[in-house]
């Protein structure tokens, strides 16, 4: 493993091998690698150019890989450098996606201006979040213009990706109108752009209807300060035929430009940085507690009491914090 400083120089020079090795380093859980990863991230220029970070989510089979291949190639052909990071917290699934993605993103993966990194087989969301966030920073330092962060549209990983993206794009299949109620609502509220994919062939008419349904539902949402007129929006695309991709990119740029000029962009990046800082502290404290046998024992005992309702959560927390502060000072 090269020393963090020269690795950081390689990343900053946009060397793909250095970037790949740097990501391998940040993915490692070995204590010495963690330390080197920390040094590496500190060596990255603080004034590195900002990429447009696009979170992209969608249920299995909706066409994420096909979309990224077509969309990524379009951006590369326009002269942009595109990095794709996949987030898949369930290690059981990731084997399948990597295999699928090798075939579905074949051209993009060979493009000199593209960099694709599949999800590592980590199952714990906290670890995945850190790895992805740090990988995004590395890609940004390496001078990529666009970083696509892909996640499967199931559960918590979506929220996490939204917390590290400048824009959040949701890919949906035609039909699925019943999903509009309930489970999709929360996700819809984080989405900036909803793309109804597979708007081609037999599905074209259904896609247009679905799109109108979502557009209607989006108009009912409370207006968010970070949205210009007309956003969030829903539009049809066909990843297979490439239809609508140019327009989707125009919309993404328009939204990003508006947020930049209105100050939402910087504010959001600052909020996100603070969010991850506090999250790291929280995770670190919990890990520290779990590693100390006496504290772990107290946690287990209090878990039981709180669950049974014999101890209020705040009082149990006070006991743990007392122990934590006491063990630091005494
Ligand atoms: N008709 C049509 N089919 C599409 C389109 N995009 C993707 N598909 C098909 O949908 C299937 C799934 O596409 P993928 O790109 O693998 O979907 P995915 O969301 O990456 O799936 P997972 O990685 O399993 O979550 C494939 O058979 C694609 O050919 C499209 O725009 N139109
Ligand atoms: Mg896929």
List the domains of the chain with CATH numbers.
1-47 (1.20.5.170), 49-262 (3.40.50.300), 274-329 (no CATH)
Q: Measured from the CA of 241, which atom of ligand 1 is nearest? A: 31
Whole-number mean pLDDT of the chain? 88
CA gap 125, 123 in Å, rounded = 6
Residue 94 CB less than 6 A away from ligand 1: no
Question: Is pLDDT at 99 greater than 70 in this prediction?
Answer: no
Task: Name, in order, each residue with C-beta under 8 angstroms of 48's C-beta and a sequence gap of 6 or more.
Answer: 12, 137, 140, 141
The token duo for 117 is 């990194």
3-state secondary structure at position 22: helix
pLDDT value, residue 216: 87
The Å distance, Cα 63 to ligand 2 centre, comes to: 7
pLDDT value, residue 95: 46
Residue 65 CB less than 6 A away from ligand 1: yes
The token duo for 186 is 């929360």
Q: What is the pLDDT of residues 179-236, one digit of tens each?
A: 555 445 667 778 999 999 999 999 999 999 989 988 888 888 878 888 999 999 999 9
pLDDT value, residue 102: 57
Strand intervals (E) in the chain? 52-58, 82-87, 114-117, 146-152, 167-172, 193-196, 233-236
Identify the residue whose C-alpha is closest to ligand 1 atom 1: 198
pLDDT value, residue 121: 65
Q: In what order do the strands lie in the sheet with 52-58?
A: 114-117, 82-87, 146-152, 52-58, 167-172, 193-196, 233-236
Which of the 8 DSSP states describes residue 243? B
Cβ of 293: how many Cβ atoms within 10 Å?
Answer: 8
Range scoring the smallest mean pLDDT among 113-122, 234-243, 274-283: 113-122
CA gap 56, 132 in Å, rounded = 13
Identify the residue whose C-alpha is closest to ligand 1 atom 23: 97
Q: List the beta bridge partners of residue 87.
A: 151
Residue 104 CB less than 6 A away from ligand 1: yes
Proportion of the chain in helix, strand, coil states, percent, rounded to 5: 60, 10, 25
Residue 206 CB less than 6 A away from ligand 1: no
Question: Is pLDDT at 65 greater than 60 in this prediction?
Answer: yes
Residue 66 CB less than 6 A away from ligand 1: yes
pLDDT value, residue 270: 95
pLDDT value, residue 183: 45
The token duo for 29 is 């859980």
Q: What is the pLDDT of residues 121-131, one digit of tens each?
A: 666 667 788 88
Residue 96 pLDDT level (bands cut at 50, 70, 90): very low
Residue 62 CB less than 6 A away from ligand 1: yes
Residue 63 CB less than 6 A away from ligand 1: yes
Residue 327 pLDDT level (bands cut at 50, 70, 90): low
User: What is the number of H-type helices and E-type strands within the chain?
Assistant: 14, 7
The token duo for 160 is 């996490």
Residue 130 CB less than 6 A away from ligand 1: no
pLDDT value, residue 128: 81
- The pLDDT of 227-250, averaged and rounded, is 96
Q: Is the distance from CB of 215 to CB of 234 less than 8 angstroms?
A: yes
- In angstroms, the Cα distances linking 40 to 27, 66, 157 are 13, 33, 26
The Å distance, Cα 62 to ligand 2 centre, comes to: 8
The Å distance, Cα 78 to ligand 1 centre, comes to: 24
Strand intervals (E) in 26-166? 52-58, 82-87, 114-117, 146-152
Tell me whether the omega of the peptide bond preceding residue 47 falls within 30 degrees of 0, making it cis: no
pLDDT value, residue 236: 97
Residue 89 or 161, more confident = 161
CA gap 27, 135 in Å, rounded = 9
pLDDT value, residue 91: 47
Identify the residue whose C-alpha is closest to ligand 1 atom 28: 63
Question: Is pLDDT at 275 greater than 70 in this prediction?
Answer: yes
Helices 245-262, 64-77: axis angle to 10 degrees equals 70
Q: What is the pLDDT of residues 25-62, one digit of tens each?
A: 998 888 899 999 999 999 887 777 899 999 999 888 89
| Backbone CA torsion sign across 254, 260, 262, 266 | positive
The token duo for 144 is 């990529």
The Å distance, Cα 199 to ligand 1 centre, comes to: 12
pLDDT value, residue 324: 86
pLDDT value, residue 185: 65
3-state secondary structure at position 170: strand
């Amino acid at each position: 493993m090269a020393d963090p400083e020269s690795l950081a120089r390689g990343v900053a020079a946009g060397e793909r091998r250095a970037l790949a090795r740097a990501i391998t380093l940040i993915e490692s859980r070995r204590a010495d690698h963690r330390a080197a990863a920390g040094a590496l991230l500190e060596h990255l220029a603080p004034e590195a150019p900002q990429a447009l970070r696009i979170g992209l989510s969608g249920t299995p089979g909706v066409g994420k890989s096909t979309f990224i291949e077509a969309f990524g190639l379009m951006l590369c052909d326009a002269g942009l450098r595109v990095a794709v990071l996949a987030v898949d917290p369930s290690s059981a699934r990731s084997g399948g996606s990597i295999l699928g993605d090798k075939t579905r993103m074949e051209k993009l993966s060979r493009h000199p201006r593209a960099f694709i990194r599949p999800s590592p087989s980590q199952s714990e969301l906290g670890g995945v979040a850190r790895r992805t966030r740090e990988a995004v920073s590395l890609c940004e330092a390496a001078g990529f213009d666009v970083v696509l962060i892909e996640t499967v549209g199931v559960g918590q990983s979506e929220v996490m990706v939204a917390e590290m993206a400048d824009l959040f794009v949701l890919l949906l299949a035609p039909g699925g109108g019943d999903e509009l109620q309930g489970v999709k609502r929360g996700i819809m509220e984080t989405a900036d752009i909803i793309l109804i994919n597979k708007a081609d062939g037999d599905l074209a008419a259904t896609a247009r209807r679905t799109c109108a349904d979502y557009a209607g539902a989006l108009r009912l949402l409370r207006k968010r300060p970070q949205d210009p007129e007309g956003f969030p929006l829903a539009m049809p695309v066909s990843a297979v035929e490439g239809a609508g991709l140019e327009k989707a990119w125009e919309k993404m740029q328009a939204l990003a430009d508006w947020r930049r000029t209105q100050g939402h962009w910087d504010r959001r990046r600052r909020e996100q940085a603070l969010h991850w800082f506090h999250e790291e502290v929280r995770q670190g404290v919990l890990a520290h507690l779990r590693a100390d046998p006496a504290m772990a024992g107290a946690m287990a005992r209090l878990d039981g009491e709180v669950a049974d309702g014999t101890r209020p959560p705040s009082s149990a927390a006070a006991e743990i914090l007392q122990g934590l502060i006491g063990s630091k000072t005494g």
